[in-house]
Amino acid sequence: MERLPGFRDFYPEPIPHTDVWSADARQFIFEKWRTVARRYNFREYDGPPLESLELFTTKSGEEIAGQLYNFTDKGDRAVALRPEMTPTLARMIAAHERNYKKPIKWFAIPQLFRYERQQKGRLREHFQFNADLIGETSPAADAELIALLIDALRAFGLTEKDFVIRLSSRNAWQEFYESRKQKAESGNDAYAFYQVIDKLERTPPEESEKKLAALGFSLAEVNQFIESGKQTAELESILQNLAARGLKDFVKVDYKVIRGLAYYTGVVFEAFDVQSEFRAIAGGGRYDNLVKLLSGGKVDLPALGFGMGDVVLLELLKTRGRLPKFDTTTDIFVLIEDESLRAQSLKLIHDLRAGGFAVEYPLTPAKPDKQFKRAQELKVAYTVRLENSDYVRIRDFKTRKEIVAGANDVANHLDSNRQ
């Protein structure tokens, strides 16, 4: 039986010459995300991977259902695997916001699901680092969140030579749109306009020209606006704040970024690798009206957030040589060469594990050279072998030194760094 297309298994240890995903790499990425989020005083939350379909269609329109894993459950509820975390966050905030001081700074690492037409290398699930800041309108909040995004990437050893945050303003774009749209046009088609801008870089100019013309715009005036790089007071304030933190070189204003989604209301941004080899590493922005919308008007709080997926990040880290080797982390292999000492060896193993060491040993009788080979494969720091009831022989694999120690005194002879 096979796993579903677009889904991943995560295996321990890298398996050479295969394209399997590494559980160790995943854990490495999650831990970095968590560590940096906590330093910024963001607190972890989570919600269910399955939600009412309505939660997502309210935010994104009925069309979204075409891209979801949605179905009717046995209780006749229309449900869907979450394609994004923001609706769940807004629902949770709406239910309990009174218990939390503002601004609320939360993060999560949800697995997200989208039923997209299968393409080479395109997945139907990924994990996403989500950080959101709720209850603060000041651009100081935008700066705090963008600083977190920058430091989350720097935590992997990436520098300003590897990535850049392209900062833009949905406000400025909206002003541009409002000031130039044909008065004759019926309805507000700002969303369609944003969609065209969002795809500008990936679309042939003639095609963009045509689409813009249909909305009453010319590609020339759009390009002129992008090149002007209009510095709004809001963007100015964010850039100054980031400069004060020493993060100036990680950001540039770039109006080619607009974010396709309908609900952004202020600053928007995306993180890209400098060489533009990959899709966006992360993206986010302000969504001041969304909590109100999703809480049915019950709670009205300004908010902003970003999401960073694990797939593009992992590709980038691999390309830049920023993934550590995930060797096994076994500290000690206890050799059992004399079976009459097995019971006492089990006691020793248990004590060492209780002391914090990761310990392996032969479950069943095995030849000494086979045991030694296994210890080598595991790249252990030490082998420990009971000589008799009272003494052990400890071998340090790095220094190749061997010492004899009391059987109850082993831990004191081992490098405490490994504990």
Q: Which of residues 90-119 bind a second copy (CB under 8 A)?
A: 91-92, 95-96, 99-101, 103, 106, 111, 113, 115, 118
Q: Among candidates 83, 50, 79, 85, which has minimal Cα distance to 67?
A: 83
Asked if 128 and 110 count as a contact pair (C-beta separation under 8 A), the reply is: yes
Q: Which is nearer to a second copy, 31 or 277 (CB)?
A: 31
Q: Which is nearer to a second copy, 6 or 216 (CB)?
A: 6
The dihedrals phi and psi of 221, each to the nearest 5 degrees, come to: -70, -35
If one asks whether residue 299 binds a second copy (CB under 8 A), the answer comes out as: no
Considering only residues 307-326, where is the footprint of a second copy by CB under 8 A?
Answer: none
Piece of 7-15, 205-213, 215-223, 282-290 that binds a second copy (CB under 8 A):
7-15
Site string for a second copy, 330-369 (x = CB under 8 A): x-----------xxx-xx-xx--xx-xxxxx--xx-----
Buried b (16+ CB within 10 A) or exposed e, 6-21: bebeeeeebeeeeeeb
Considering only residues 378-417, where is the footprint of a second copy by CB under 8 A?
Answer: 378
- How many Cα neighbours within 13 Å face the side chain of 248? 6
CA angle 123, 126, 132 (to 5 degrees): 140
Asked if 130 and 89 count as a contact pair (C-beta separation under 8 A), the reply is: yes
If one asks whether residue 9 binds a second copy (CB under 8 A), the answer comes out as: yes
CB 35, min distance to a second copy, A: 8
Tokens of residue 380, six digits: 């252990």
Considering only residues 124-143, where is the footprint of a second copy by CB under 8 A?
Answer: 125, 136, 138, 140-141
Q: Which is nearer to a second copy, 55 or 222 (CB)?
A: 55
Q: Which is nearer to a second copy, 66 or 187 (CB)?
A: 66
CB 283, min distance to a second copy, A: 22
Q: Which residue has the tokens 């050279």?
A: 369
**Contact pick of 19, 41, 63, 120 for a second copy (by CB under 8 A):** 41
What 8-state DSSP symbol labels residue 3?
A: P
Q: How many residues does the chain have?
A: 419
* Cis, bond preceding 103 (omega within 30 deg of 0): yes
CB 44, min distance to a second copy, A: 5
